[in-house]
Each structure stands twice: as structure tokens, then as C-alpha cells.
Structure 1
Amino acid sequence: MTKTIAIVVPCHNEEENVPLFYQAVTKTFAEIEDYQPIFWYINDGSTDGTLQAIQTLQTQDTNVHYIDFSRGFGKEAGMYAGLQNAKGDLYTIMDADLQDPPTMIPEMLKEIQNGYEMVGAQRVNREGEPVIRSFFSRLFYKLINHISQTKIVPGARDFRLMTPPVVAAVLAMGERNRFSKGVFSWVGFKTKYLPYQNIERQHGKTSWSFSSLFRYSINGIVDYSDAPLTFVSWLGVASFVGATIALIFIIARAMIYGDPTPGWPSLVSIFLMIGGLQLFAIGIVGRYVGRIYLETKHRPIYVAREIK
């Protein structure tokens, strides 16, 4: 009996890549026995002809499905929506730009058959990307793995093959602000990562700017570590100790040498320093409070115009 692999494909302005992705995956599955692909394209607020390209494929293949978002909700929402609606014996998430090579699926499937419950792709280099982006990416992985108990594999992609229990666990994590790399690591299960060389996207430009990646990284740190709060606490202690030492020094100096000049410059400097630290601390605490506030709204992760 032929089994199915549900392929979740978040898309944002991928008009040219949609048919190319379909052809590449279909070609790969022609060499895989006993499995067939079930495509789930998620149109995440595209402003080009992405939806029309998907609908054209659907008229040619009944195994092509799509979810059309009412607006752009982001890739995280797209992955969640796809996993929530797709049905299959196994599940995978792939980018439409073919940076996730379909040729890895047979090897992933082999590892699943060997007993692994989740098999992911790990990018071992970042050739073709700006140097500054690669630097901050490496810095992010080092930082979050140092301060978080949830370890994230450097270079791990969202591209992975998963069994139904893994998908059920991922969907059970119903937080609105999702950080997929942390979610996949947090749920556990027997996991293996397969290395591969970086592949440049086929057409179009990535929707991930440096600023959006930076915000995404901050969200990941806030979601999976309370280290910033601990840091702020120690910063407050250090500030208090420093101010106390400075005060003792100023008093001792005045007693020994006198104080012929007014002390307002030093006082203003201390006030500005303490005030800056307080604002910094409030900012960090505010990030956590803001996340709590958004979660308590219980808004849906996405809104679909059409699921077909």
C-alpha cells in the first residue's frame, strides 16, 4: 500500500518557484518506492501570482492543496497551518525557493526507517550570504545555546521529515509567538541532522531582511531563556555596588582634601548612569511582559481565506 508524505510549503511571492518546486519534488518521488507526495502550499499574503500558480497546479494534480491566508502572517504561522491541516504518514516542511534540496528526502526517509522520529537538514556553510549576516548568525547560535536549556543545532533548517507523534507535539505547543527552531528542539524525540552545502534560491529575493532576522533572533532568546532577566538583576546589583563605592570615595576625598568645587557634575553623571540602567532593565522586562500580553489575547495564529 502506497504511503504519503505531506509536504508543507510556506510561500510569499514565490510565483516563479512554485511550479519549479513541484517539478523537483515530483522528480525525486519518482525514484522513491511506496511513497507519494501530498503538497500543501500556504500562500502567506503574496502580492504576485503565487496563488494563481498554485491553483494551476491543483487543476493538474489532485494531490496539490493550498491554504490562502487573509493577509501575511509570517512563515511560522504558515508552517503551523500546514501541519495542522495536512494529513500523511510522514510530514516535511520545505521552502519553495529550492534552498531545501528535495534530493535529501530519500536519505531522510531511510533514517526514519532506521528508527529516528525526526530527521532534519543542517546547513554546514553559508556561502552566497552577506558576511555580516553569517557572523551574526553564528553569534546568535553561540549565545542562545549558552543561555538556554533548549539546545538549537547551528545551521538547522525548518526542512525536516517528521513522524505523526512529532507533529502532534509541535501542534500541541499553541503559543502565538512561535520560534520553530526552538519548538522542534524543545519537543525532543529521537532526532538526527543531515549536513548539506548551502544552495542559493532559484528566483526572487528573500523576504528576510537583516532587521527581521534580528527581531526573530530576539524573539527566540526571549521565548527560550530567562537569562536576560537574570542579567538585569545582576546589573542592578553591580550598579548599586558601584554607586556605593563611588559615594564612599567621594566622601573620603572630601574629608581628606576638602571639596573646593561643586559636586553637581559627578552627581549628574551618576544619575544619568543609574537612569540609563533602569531604562535598559525596564526595556528587557517589557519584552517579556509584552509577550505575556500578546499570549493572553488568545488570537488565532492565522486566518485563512480559503483552504482547498
Structure 2
Amino acid sequence: MLISLIVPCYNEEEAMPLFYREASRVAEQMKTSHGADFEFIFVDDGSRDGTLATARRLHDEDPRVRYVSFSRNFGKEAGIYAGLQAARGDYVATMDADLQDPPALLPDMLDALLTGDYDCAATRRTTREGEPPVRSWFARLFYRIINRMSDTEIVDGARDFRLMSRRMVNAVLEMSEYNRFSKGIFSWVGFKTRWFDYKNVERVAGKTKWNFWSLFQYSIEGIVGFSTAPLVMAALAGVIFCLAAFVGIIFVIVRALLFGDPTSGWPSMVCIMLLCSGVQLFCLGIVGEYLAKTYLEVKHRPVYITRETEADRDARRGNP
């Protein structure tokens, strides 16, 4: 039984050795308790520090360590997809390098899959200790919004840390879309999931790569990728304003017939014009967002471009 650990990395030079040490300790325990072998797949997402050099060194020290290095930064979603494509395991886990996803949960997660009742063991945080309150509030708001808009349920606090069976991994790989939102994809493909709760864990090293703007973009990706409700809202707004305009026209005509046509103040007219034009631009923006995603999909660009893998390096050095 082979278990693949996929670890997307962007400027994680400091955290990678700590993750490898802890994951190796858990792997040795599971070798004894479950007879499981491991492979560690580090995906270097165009890092600017020594992430690639660290991956090379770990591979030289331990042949279980494999890596995929991108030609530039393609994002975490591309890193997860590349890792899933490279994974050879019967079971595949996706994890962060900063140890916010505790490897110590892997034995219990594997036990859940070995029962045959589940194809996925996923994790979710029960607390957000250590996060700024504003960020936590917006995160909870995002989950409420997307679950109301989308038919695909996305669990509040869900992490990318999950252990999946090979058949679920194959199902995810069939979704080769360019605009990826893994939380939604994992939920959309279905399969029965066992959830494991744990308290938030602080990073062991380095700094988070997620700021408010990147999280906002990621949330838009999720909403656009798994819901057409914004388009319906834009159409509904258009209908409401058309009805309001029709009622306004009737009101103006009736008032002119009954009371004459007194001069109206220009401030009210300006406010109405700004409101209507603002709604129109907002609706155009929604349509434009969907059109942009469609534009990127029909280009059929690769999700990522590989610069180097451990196999390339071994071949250059003459290793089998």
C-alpha cells in the first residue's frame, strides 16, 4: 500500500525540512502499524527562495522524496493538480508545508478509508485562533454566500488537507479545467467523506502567502466556478429596474395630466441616473467575470508548465 503526500510549496524553504521530519516520523509509525509505504511530492510553485534547492537535497537524502518545479508561479490550485497527476499512491493526501495540517491525523484518516465506507477523509478547523478577526469574519461570510448560491456544499472551515482513495483522485483528475477551485471540485465529484475536526495550528516557519486581496480573488473564483446565481441576480436586477422605470413613467404622465408639469429638481435626476448606471455597470461586471473565465477555458492553456522534476535531475546525473 503506497500513500502519496502532495505538498504545494511557494517560498517554503524554512518550513519544508520541518514538514519532512514530522511527516517521516508519522510515515515510520504507519509503516509499522499499517504496512504503508510513502512518497513525498513537493510541488515548487515558482518559488523565489531556496525551495527547489531544498527539494533537491531532500531527494538526494531520501529517494521517497519527489518534486515538481514549475517554470513560474501558477498558484496553489495548479500545484495540487500537478501533485495529483504525479502521485502513484493507492491513497493520496494533499497538505500544506507549514504544518498547519497535522500529519499526526493521517493514521486515523487512513483507518476511516480502510473500512471501505469512505473514499475521502477530510479535515476542517473548529477554531480560527491566530487569524485577524476581520479575515475570519469574511471567511465565514464567504462560506455562507457560496453555500446559498451553489448546489455544491462547501463545508465552513474545510482545509485542503484530505486523504483520498485512488478512484476519487482519478475522478478529480478528469476535471482538467483551467480555472480551478479545489474545495469545490472535491465536493462536486461526490464520494462519501469522513470529516475530522481539529483546532487551528500556527505556522511553524515562514509567512503566509495569502493576503486579503488574494483571498478575495480566490473567493470570486469559487463563486464563479460553482454557481450561476450572480447571473440570475443581474438579470433580476434588470427586470426590477425596468419595472421601476415603467412605474415612474406612468407616475410622471399622470402627474402632468392632473397637476401640470412643475419643474423637477436636478439633484434627484442625477441620483437616479447614477444609481441606474451603477447597477448596469455592476451587472456588466458580473457578466464580464463569467465571460473572462470562459475566454481562459477555450484557450486550452495548460494548467501549469514544468521546469524540472526529480526524474529529470536523476537523468542528467546518470542515475537510473
Q: TM-score range by the shorter chain?
A: over 0.9
Distance (whole Å) between structure 2 residues aligned to residue 231 and residue 218 of structure 1: 15
Hey, what does 2:23 align to over in structure 1?
Answer: 25
Equivalent in 10, 13, 16 of residue 12 of structure 1: 10
User: Is 1:249 the equivalent of 2:251?
Assistant: yes
Offset of 1:267 from its aligned partner? 4.2
Output one character per residue of 1:34-57: Cα deviation in whole Å (capped at 9) or x when no partner.
012200001111111111111111
Distance (whole Å) between structure 1 residues aligned to residue 282 and residue 212 of structure 2: 23
- Greater CA deviation, 236-245 or 268-277? 268-277
Structure 1-normalised TM-score? Answer: 0.96
Q: Is the 8 A contact 1:144 1:221 kept in 2?
A: yes
Offset of 1:260 from its aligned partner? 3.1
- Greater CA deviation, 277-286 or 249-258? 249-258
Q: Which residue identity is paired with 2:109?
A: M
Hey, what does 1:140 align to over in structure 2?
Answer: 142
- Greater CA deviation, 266-275 or 232-241? 266-275
Distance (whole Å) between structure 1 residues aligned to residue 101 and residue 214 of structure 2: 21
Hey, what does 1:297 align to over in structure 2?
Answer: 299
Offset of 1:193 from its aligned partner? 1.0
Distance (whole Å) between structure 2 residues aligned to residue 100 and residue 218 of structure 1: 24
| DSSP-derived class of the 1:30 partner | helix
Q: Which residue identity is paired with 2:213?
A: S
Offset of 1:280 from its aligned partner? 1.2
Distance (whole Å) between structure 1 residues aligned to residue 138 and residue 202 of structure 2: 19
Equivalent in 227, 230, 233 of residue 232 of structure 2: 230
Hey, what does 1:150 align to over in structure 2?
Answer: 152
Output one character per residue of 1:238-280: Cα deviation in whole Å (capped at 9) or x when no partner.
1011122222222323333323325655444433332222211
Matching of residues 139-178 of structure 1 within 5 Å: 139-178=141-180
Q: What is the percent sequence identity of the aligned residues?
A: 53
Q: Which residue identity is paired with 1:93?
A: T
Hey, what does 1:100 align to over in structure 2?
Answer: 101
Hey, what does 1:41 align to over in structure 2?
Answer: 42
Structure 2-normalised TM-score? Answer: 0.93
- Greater CA deviation, 156-165 or 259-268? 259-268
Distance (whole Å) between structure 2 residues aligned to residue 41 and residue 299 of structure 1: 23
| DSSP-derived class of the 1:47 partner | coil
Distance (whole Å) between structure 1 residues aligned to residue 124 and residue 262 of structure 2: 66
Gaps of 5+ in 2: 311-320
Matching of residues 214-293 of structure 1 within 5 Å: 214-262=216-264, 265-293=267-295
| DSSP-derived class of the 1:215 partner | helix
Q: Which residue identity is paired with 1:145?
A: N
Distance (whole Å) between structure 2 residues aligned to residue 96 and residue 110 of structure 1: 23
Matching of residues 55-134 of structure 1 within 5 Å: 55-115=56-116, 116-134=118-136
Q: Which residue identity is paired with 2:78?
A: A
Distance (whole Å) between structure 2 residues aligned to residue 64 and residue 150 of structure 1: 35
Q: Which residue identity is paired with 1:183?
A: I
**Two-structure CA RMSD over aligned residues (Å):** 1.3
Q: Is the 8 A contact 1:243 1:270 kept in 2?
A: no
| DSSP-derived class of the 2:239 partner | helix
Q: Which residue identity is paired with 1:142?
A: R
Q: Is the 8 A contact 1:40 1:82 kept in 2?
A: yes
Q: Which residue identity is paired with 1:129?
A: E
Distance (whole Å) between structure 1 residues aligned to residue 264 and residue 123 of structure 2: 65
Q: Is the 8 A contact 1:8 1:40 kept in 2?
A: yes
Gaps of 5+ in 1: none
Distance (whole Å) between structure 2 residues aligned to residue 89 and residue 260 of structure 1: 79
